[in-house]
Amino acid sequence: MDQGIETICARATPPGMGAIAIVRLSGPRALEIIDRCFLPHRATQSLAEMRSHTLIFGHLVDPTDRTAIDDVLVGVMRGPHSYTGEDVVEINLHGSPAIVRATLRLLTEQGARLAGPGEFTRRAFENGQIDLAQAEAICDLITAQTQAAAGVALRQLSGQFSDRLGTIRERLIDLLAEIEARLDFPEEDIPPEEADRWLLMIHSVGDELSRLVTSGERGRLLAEGARIVLVGKPNAGKSSLFNSLLDDDRAIVTPEPGTTRDSLEAMIEADGLPMNLVDTAGLRAVESEVERLGVVRAESEIRRASLIVLCVPVDEPWGRKDEQVWQLVGERDPIVALTKCDLNPTLDPAKVTERTGCEKMHRTSALTHEGLEELIAECSLRLTEEAEDDQEQADPLVSTERHLDELRHALNLLAGAVRALADPPALELAAADLRAATGHVDGVLGLEIGEEVLDRIFDRFCIGK
């Protein structure tokens, strides 16, 4: 193992007080450093003689004065059969922040340095333990907010996505080799059946990439969550509905119109789908600067929304303010929620249907919780209905915008290769497009990627992973 590589250390468990904390070491000097600071409980035991993937109980001490720091369990995982591919040591100690700080200070004094965000996983990637798609899946798995999002990340981590891309890459390289071989003999005519076979191969690969991209739109939704934005005129019951859906008093609710001056956001889960509910300021002409900023933010949230819920109170007739809101959101096909259904109604639903074209409306009450489950079910259905009959949509393999962007670029280049193979075929152009498309697949797997992109990817990770 290269002794020029630094040995790194970091806390691998979340910060704060807890029963147990884990401090991780990785690098060529990991065993040497811990050996100086560790006294086995039994004199017959030795870290140097420990088999890989075993634990030993003992005492962590400062070697300069033999001051005890904690009673610990030390795990040894020798490279290359470890997470990073290097020698790895994990110190299990009591979860006092003071003990963790003392341990990290001790390890750095003995020659390790503190790890940066994602540096352990980056070493795993650079040492060939995982590819880049799997490395990114680890971060997604850690940050997953729902079981469905965790499932996408776990499928990526298991290699299913990488295997699919590996097969696509092999087919592209085989096709590229055939076309480039033909370039060596430009004087020979290309039989029509051979050009047709190349086109068939490109279309087949394109179909595979298209399926991954289509399912990836749902995968990104599962990973990042949908934005469900509640909109309406002032005092339409948006904040009360928001609180009831959360079962928590997050938003201030008063009879006075315009109470909400800013957008509030909170996450709920429905059918495995994370939904970020957003409560917005009432949309109306305003006089104060604070209210104006609230309306500006509400309009911004409308543009960002995955789905809009238009709140229409039943205790007021449909009027000019409702018309103004509809002008802003009508083209986004909102779900209409009739709010305050525990009050005496003065709203004529037929008038709402006449003005909006919406025949299906959900009766809701923040007070009695009437219609809340049905409203959330409708939101979930709207967001997932395209995946109902498609298993690949239901269990997507792609979930990040970076991967989707690379795959979309590859698809566009394949379309260019198809055009280049039209009669008469331009083999040089087709080969260039296929080579570039392969490069975008390689970008997902990390086979061709720059340091700047790697830095950006691993900066998303927590320290210690």
pLDDT of residue 109: 95
Q: Write phi, then psi, for 161 (nearest 5 degrees).
A: -65, -45
- Sorted by where each begins, the domain ranges of the chain are 8-130, 134-221+396-446, 225-368
| Assigned CATH for 8-130 | 3.30.1360.120
Which top CATH class is 134-221+396-446? mainly alpha
pLDDT of residue 253: 45
pLDDT of residue 120: 95
pLDDT of residue 216: 84
End-to-end CA distance of the chain: 21
CA distance 130 to 83: 9
- Is 27 strand, coil or helix? coil
> Do the Cβ atoms of 77 and 52 come closer than 8 Å?
yes
Tell me which H or E stretch contains 267: strand 264-270
> Do the Cβ atoms of 111 and 452 come closer than 8 Å?
no
| Assigned CATH for 225-368 | 3.40.50.300
Residues 6+ apart with CB under 8 A from 72: 38, 57, 58, 59, 60, 91, 92, 93
> Do the Cβ atoms of 341 and 307 come closer than 8 Å?
no
- Kindly tell me the burial class for residue 41, based on how many C-beta atoms sit within 10 Å of its own C-beta (0-12, 13-18, 19 or more): exposed
- Residue by residue, pLDDT tens for the chain (465 residues) are 455 689 999 999 988 888 999 999 999 999 999 999 999 988 777 777 788 999 999 999 999 988 999 999 999 999 999 999 999 999 999 999 999 999 999 999 999 999 999 999 999 999 999 999 999 999 888 888 888 888 889 999 999 999 999 999 999 999 999 888 888 776 666 777 788 898 999 999 999 999 999 888 788 878 877 889 998 888 888 888 898 888 765 544 445 444 444 568 888 887 778 888 888 877 654 554 445 555 667 777 788 888 899 999 999 999 888 888 888 888 888 999 999 999 988 988 888 898 888 888 999 998 899 999 999 989 888 887 644 444 455 678 888 889 999 999 999 999 999 999 887 788 899 999 999 999 999 999 998 777 887 888 888 888 877
CA distance 47 to 38: 8
DSSP assigned state of 121: H
pLDDT of residue 288: 46
pLDDT of residue 296: 66
CA distance 30 to 26: 6
Alpha carbon 39 to its chain's center:
42
CA distance 159 to 36: 39
Amino acid 147 reads: Q
Alpha carbon 201 to its chain's center:
32
Cis omega before residue 117 (within 30°)? Answer: no
